[in-house]
């Protein structure tokens, strides 16, 4: 008898769509296609503004790039095979265009002569704009050997590139610094000492125990730094990989060593190239703070390497108070003045570095020429009541000095005359840093013949000097960027340009008519403007005065045309205590709430602290800006027909002397309730199909909301979070108090303590190598075990080799697969097609996405705190540089 088959058994059950069969998975094709779209090239303009580089980038590197051997030393992650920072992003190609007089681009000239599959970093124009210098990573070294970075130069006119130096003869050491142009044909470079031997081997038996002692009863409080030195062997490795020999190298390839090998942390030539400001670090090192707090010595050298004088010698700084605005004692922020050929300036604290100490002045800015007579005291440039925030130099008659104070959010800008130190400074601006409506804008800078940047002065027919102010233009209707002329003496402003107020969003990017020294002619003013809309990606335009003619430079294609017609608006609503809130509401293309009904909705957020209810409620951003989608962005789910509430404001407000976090839970729940009520009221979200998620501090928020407001959400997704605040006892995020000063706050804010109360499904995702302060992987591991111990519906995904932000293609795709699975299963209850396994798809090799041009060789992890959410797509992030 023939067997009967029940066809119902052949149908997919919703729970079988995402089978846990092991290995890396791929999300649905509609998500995959967006993530794999080629990123937009980065742009860099020549010093004379007559050439443009287009630096090519690829989407995501393969996980194998992250799986390379890695040393964790004093806050750094080092690839020992290449003697570089690990996880370096890179460019894959360079093309050059001439910027013609009419604003159009000339023919493309590709940089040629590079090895196949080159990984390019640290791209830098020569001062005269005729050459490029950059690094090319060497071939993969054989096991047990070392390769490294070589420096190449390319001729701008022909595009021909050649190796200036590299393996096996001489290798760059980019652990701390790389190279800099001294003049049009000479570089100074930090190189691996040619005589360096093999790395020190770890002894099989240690010489003794590792001992830390505080028998002097010193108060030492630090946040939860990671990747610190652990023992003497780590110290030896730090010396081995960090030690450099400085070389002068000309474009003919001739090299000359200067100075002796040392752990050089920076080499900063004076604007005229006649001096070096050389910084080194040395023992004793520390096991509780990263290298930035190790003993530091700064010296002034002549170009030949001849020692001139010591600028500072700072001891180990383990005891900087954790209070915001606390700083290191001694000289700090030591730099060259941009308005002088060779003149130094720096700051010295008057409060011992402790922000809790009441003193006036709090900081003093000093200045001193490099060629001053021996023993001459530095000049006092300015005394500040608040904490120093920087100097923007103009000329002998004008410089701007900034100061601020975090506790009150107070910020002030002073005008001073560096050439007349007897004259009193005059306050130019003063406001709360939270009050974006009162932001007057930032002064635009012009490039000098020395290659520095100073205040861009403008002189009109009346002979009065004015500054150009470039502002975001925050208003209750959204940002409307502007360009103002500020008359210095009277303070009067004249608006000479403003973004379109509807449909398009424009921003001033850079000044393009600054090729000559001196004040600018308003009638010859040229600026670079970015223009975008909700559905059109950013393009660059040249705008020229006096007619304000406009010429489009770029014509980038839409990176994800499949959702090009998405709908975006900034929606406003009110919290129960009267605080005004905003959020970016995104809806899928062709969605009509009247006919399609409510959608499943993903709310992705990140709390912020404020001192003022009014400022917390101010509108930020533009309803007309382009929706940049990063590789792990919540906006990817627009392709899955979700509504997305991105960045709803979650202000945690502490007015006056009130500590914001003492009412964290109350305010967080109120903000979430208001957001949920709004999307339900508008009919775009199904009340039973709203998910909440976040990354880092947003993950912390997600867990708290599922603990305290489970009625609002169907499920949650928490990536790279910290859930137990007793594991960050010396402060976190904007919290300055310690666990022992505010135990109730720490406990009440910790969702770990409420693991027995969390019943809604929560997905935890974490990189196994997360080195962000406060968000160590252990946080998710222990939280998962606490949840599982109380029968919660939860899942923990640990991504091998990943840090705080996920980079490897396999990791990113699997992360998105996990998120999509979770949303489909616990939010929408819908069916989906079976997704393929990553190993079954034929893929081209991926490459590391690059960051900004000046930081293309740096690791992308935060070193100061828990990261804010991804605000711009990798397609557009850091895509412009003016050198």
- Strand pairing class (685-695; 715-719): parallel
Kindly indicate the confidence band of residue 853, based on its pLDDT and cuts at 50, 70 and 90. Answer: very low
Kindly indicate the confidence band of residue 21, based on its pLDDT and cuts at 50, 70 and 90. Answer: confident
Distance CA 277, CA 270 (A): 7
**Mean pLDDT (whole number) for 671-686:** 98
**Mean pLDDT (whole number) for 757-769:** 98
For tokens 């000097």, name the residue: 465
Sign, Cα dihedral of 26, 27, 33, 34: negative
How do the domains of the chain map onto residue ranges? 453-552, 561-841
Distance CA 96, CA 55 (A): 9
379-383, 589-593, 867-871 — which is least confidently predicted? 867-871
pLDDT value of residue 459: 82
**Mean pLDDT (whole number) for 304-321:** 97
Assigned superfamily of 561-841: Alpha/Beta hydrolase fold, catalytic domain (3.40.50.1820)
Token pair in block for residue 466: 């004015």
Concatenate the DSSP letters of all residues of 680-723 into one string.
Answer: HHTT-EEEEEEEEEEETHHHHHHHHHHHH-GGG-SEEEEES---
- pLDDT tens per residue, range 360-377: 999 999 999 999 999 999
- pLDDT tens per residue, range 63-116: 999 999 999 999 999 999 999 999 999 999 999 999 998 888 999 999 999 999
Concatenate the DSSP letters of all residues of 511-531 into one string.
Answer: E---SSSSPEEGGG-EEEEEE
pLDDT value of residue 881: 61
Distance CA 374, CA 380 (A): 18
Helices 664-681/697-708 angle, 10° precision: 80
Kindly indicate the confidence band of residue 464, based on its pLDDT and cuts at 50, 70 and 90. Answer: confident
Sign, Cα dihedral of 750, 752, 753, 755: positive
pLDDT value of residue 860: 29
Distance CA 733, CA 660 (A): 12
Residue 68's closest CA among 813, 808, 805, 766? Answer: 808
Q: Is the pLDDT of residue 13 over 90?
A: no
Q: Is the pLDDT of residue 417 over 70?
A: yes
Check if the beta carbon of residue 799 is closer than 8 Å to that of residue 830.
Answer: no
pLDDT value of residue 168: 86
Q: Report the chain's mean pLDDT, rounded to a whole number.
A: 91
Distance CA 832, CA 819 (A): 13
**What proportion of the chain, given as a percentage, has pLDDT over 90?**
86
- pLDDT tens per residue, range 172-199: 999 999 999 999 999 999 999 999 999 9
156-170, 817-831, 855-869 — which is least confidently predicted? 855-869
Query: Which residue numbers are catalytic?
Result: 696, 770, 804
Neighbours of 600 (CB within 10 A): 22
C-alpha distances in angstroms, 230 versus 84, 165, 289, 782? 20, 35, 11, 23
- Strand order of the β-sheet with 526-533 is 504-511, 526-533, 539-544, 549-552
Instruction: Indicate the DSSP class of residue 847.
Output: -
Distance CA 275, CA 514 (A): 26
**Mean pLDDT (whole number) for 488-502:** 94
- pLDDT tens per residue, range 643-653: 999 999 999 99
φ, ψ for residue 181 (rounded to 5)?
-75, 130
pLDDT value of residue 147: 78
For tokens 């859930």, name the residue: 723
Distance CA 796, CA 384 (A): 50
Distance CA 243, CA 220 (A): 29
- pLDDT tens per residue, range 266-305: 999 999 999 999 999 999 999 999 999 999 999 999 999 9
Neighbours of 200 (CB within 10 A): 14
pLDDT value of residue 331: 98
Please enumerate in sequence order all residues whose Cβ is within 8 A of that of 171, keeping only pairs 6 or more positions apart, or say none: 83, 146, 147, 148, 149, 150, 191, 192
Sign, Cα dihedral of 94, 99, 103, 105: negative
Distance CA 463, CA 104 (A): 33
pLDDT value of residue 868: 42
Distance CA 354, CA 352 (A): 5
**Mean pLDDT (whole number) for 514-535:** 91
- Strand pairing class (109-110; 343-349): unpaired
Distance CA 693, CA 763 (A): 9
Q: Is the pLDDT of residue 467 over 90?
A: yes
Distance CA 625, CA 35 (A): 20
pTM as predicted: 0.92
Coil vs helix vs strand at 749 = helix
Q: Is the pLDDT of residue 232 over 50?
A: yes
Residue 239's closest CA among 299, 181, 173? Answer: 173
**Mean pLDDT (whole number) for 377-402:** 98
Kindly indicate the confidence band of residue 142, based on its pLDDT and cuts at 50, 70 and 90. Answer: low
C-alpha distances in angstroms, 658 versus 352, 575, 580, 662? 26, 19, 20, 8
Token pair in block for residue 255: 């090299």
Alpha carbon 353 to its chain's center: 26
Check if the beta carbon of residue 883 is closer than 8 Å to that of residue 47.
Answer: yes
Check if the beta carbon of residue 769 is closer than 8 Å to that of residue 777.
Answer: yes
636-645, 749-758, 856-865 — which is least confidently predicted? 856-865
Sign, Cα dihedral of 324, 325, 326, 332: positive
pLDDT value of residue 849: 28
| Rg of the chain taking only CA atoms, in angstroms | 28
pLDDT value of residue 144: 55
Q: Is the pLDDT of residue 854 over 50?
A: no
b or e along 233-257 (b: 16 or more beta carbons within 10 Å of the residue's beta carbon)? ebbebbbbbbbbbbbbbebeeebee
Check if the beta carbon of residue 809 is closer than 8 Å to that of residue 59.
Answer: yes
Residue 369's closest CA among 360, 378, 361? Answer: 378
Concatenate the DSSP letters of all residues of 786-800 into one string.
Answer: HHHTTT--EEEEEET
The CA-based angle 68-73-75, given to 5 degrees, is 105
């Amino acid at each position: 008898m023939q067997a009967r088959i029940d066809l119902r058994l052949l149908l997919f059950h919703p729970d079988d769509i995402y089978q846990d069969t092991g290995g890396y998975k791929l999300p649905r094709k509609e998500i995959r296609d967006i993530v794999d779209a080629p990123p937009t090239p980065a742009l860099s303009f020549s010093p004379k503004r007559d050439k443009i580089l287009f630096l090519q980038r690829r989407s995501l590197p393969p996980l194998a790039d992250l799986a390379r051997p890695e040393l964790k030393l004093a806050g750094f992650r080092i690839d020992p095979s290449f003697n570089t920072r690990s996880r370096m992003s890179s460019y894959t190609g360079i093309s050059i265009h001439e910027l013609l007089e009419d604003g159009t681009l000339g023919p493309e000239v590709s940089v040629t002569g590079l090895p196949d599959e080159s990984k390019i970093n640290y791209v830098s124009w020569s001062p005269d704009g005729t050459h490029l210098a950059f690094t090319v990573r060497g071939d993969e070294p054989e096991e047990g050997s070392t390769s490294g970075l070589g420096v190449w130069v390319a001729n701008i006119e022909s595009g021909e590139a050649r190796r200036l130096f590299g393996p096996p003869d001489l290798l760059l050491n980019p652990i701390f610094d790389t190279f800099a142009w001294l003049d049009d044909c000479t570089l100074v470079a930090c190189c691996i000492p040619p005589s360096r031997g093999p790395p020190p081997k770890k002894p099989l038996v240690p010489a003794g125990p590792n001992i830390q002692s505080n028998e002097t009863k010193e108060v030492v409080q630090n946040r939860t730094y990671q990747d610190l030195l652990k023992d003497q062997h780590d110290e030896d490795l730090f010396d081995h990989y960090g030690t450099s020999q400085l070389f002068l190298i000309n474009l003919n390839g001739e090299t000359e060593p200067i100075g002796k090998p040392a752990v050089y942390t920076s080499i900063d030539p004076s604007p005229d190239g006649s001096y070096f400001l050389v910084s080194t670090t040395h023992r004793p090192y520390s096991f509780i703070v990263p290298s930035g707090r190790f003993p530091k010595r700064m010296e002034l050298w002549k170009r030949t390497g001849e020692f001139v004088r010591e600028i500072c010698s700072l001891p180990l700084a383990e005891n900087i108070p954790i209070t915001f605005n606390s700083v290191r004692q001694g000289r700090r922020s030591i730099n060259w003045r941009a308005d002088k050929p060779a003149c130094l300036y720096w700051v010295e604290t008057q409060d011992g570095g402790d922000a809790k100490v009441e003193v006036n002045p709090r900081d003093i800015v000093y200045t001193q020429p490099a060629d001053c007579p021996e023993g001459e005291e530095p000049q006092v440039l300015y005394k500040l009541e608040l904490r120093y925030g920087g100097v923007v130099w103009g000329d002998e008659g004008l410089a701007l000095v900034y100061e601020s104070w975090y506790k009150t959010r107070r910020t002030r800008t002073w005008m001073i005359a560096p050439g007349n130190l007897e004259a009193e400074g005059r306050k130019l601006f003063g406001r709360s840093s939270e009050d974006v409506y009162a932001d007057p804008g930032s002064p635009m800078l012009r490039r000098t013949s020395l290659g520095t940047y100073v205040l861009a002065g403008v002189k009109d027919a009346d002979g009065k000097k004015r500054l150009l102010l470039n502002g975001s233009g925050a208003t209750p209707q959204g940002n409307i960027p502007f360009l103002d002329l500020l008359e210095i003496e009277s303070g009067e402003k004249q608006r000479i340009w403003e973004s379109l107020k509807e449909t398009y969003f424009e921003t001033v990017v850079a000044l393009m008519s600054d090729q000559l020294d001196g004040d600018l002619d308003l009638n010859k003013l040229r600026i670079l403007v970015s223009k975008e809309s909700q559905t059109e990606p950013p393009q660059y335009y040249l705008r020229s005065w006096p007619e304000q003619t406009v010429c489009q430079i770029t014509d980038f294609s839409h990176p994800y045309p499949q959702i090009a017609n998405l709908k975006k608006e900034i929606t406003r609503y009110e919290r129960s205590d009267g605080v005004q809130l905003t959020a970016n509401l995104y809806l899928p293309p062709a969605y009509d709430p009247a006919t399609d009904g409510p959608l499943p909705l993903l709310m992705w957020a990140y709390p912020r602290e404020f001192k003022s209810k009014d400022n917390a409620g101010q509108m930020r951003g533009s309803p007309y800006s382009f929706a940049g989608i990063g590789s792990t962005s919540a906006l990817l789910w627009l392709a899955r027909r979700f509504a997305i509430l991105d960045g709803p404001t979650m202000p945690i407000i502490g007015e006056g002397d009130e500590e914001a976090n003492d009412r964290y839970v109350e305010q967080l729940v109120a903000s979430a309730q208001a957001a949920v009520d709004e999307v339900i009221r508008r009919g775009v979200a199904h009340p039973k199909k709203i998910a909440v998620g976040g990354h880092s501090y947003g993950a912390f928020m997600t867990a708290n909301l599922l603990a305290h407001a489970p009625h609002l959400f169907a499920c949650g997704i928490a990536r790279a979070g910290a859930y137990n605040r007793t594991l960050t006892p010396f402060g976190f995020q904007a919290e300055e108090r310690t666990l022992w000063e505010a135990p109730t706050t720490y406990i009440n804010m910790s969702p770990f303590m409420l693991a027995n109360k969390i019943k809604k499904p929560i997905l935890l995702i974490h990189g196994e190598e997360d080195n962000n302060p406060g968000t160590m992987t252990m946080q998710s591991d222990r939280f998962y075990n606490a949840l599982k111990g109380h029968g919660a519906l939860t899942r923990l995904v640990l991504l091998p080799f990943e840090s705080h932000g996920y980079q490897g293609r396999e990791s990113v795709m699997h992360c998105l697969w996990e998120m999509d699975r979770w949303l489909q299963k616990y939010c929408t209850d819908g069916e989906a097609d079976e997704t393929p396994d990553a190993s079954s798809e034929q893929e081209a090799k991926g490459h590391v996405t690059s960051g900004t041009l000046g930081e293309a060789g740096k690791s992308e992890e935060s070193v100061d705190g828990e990261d804010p959410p991804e605000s711009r797509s990798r397609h557009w992030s850091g895509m412009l540089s003016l050198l």
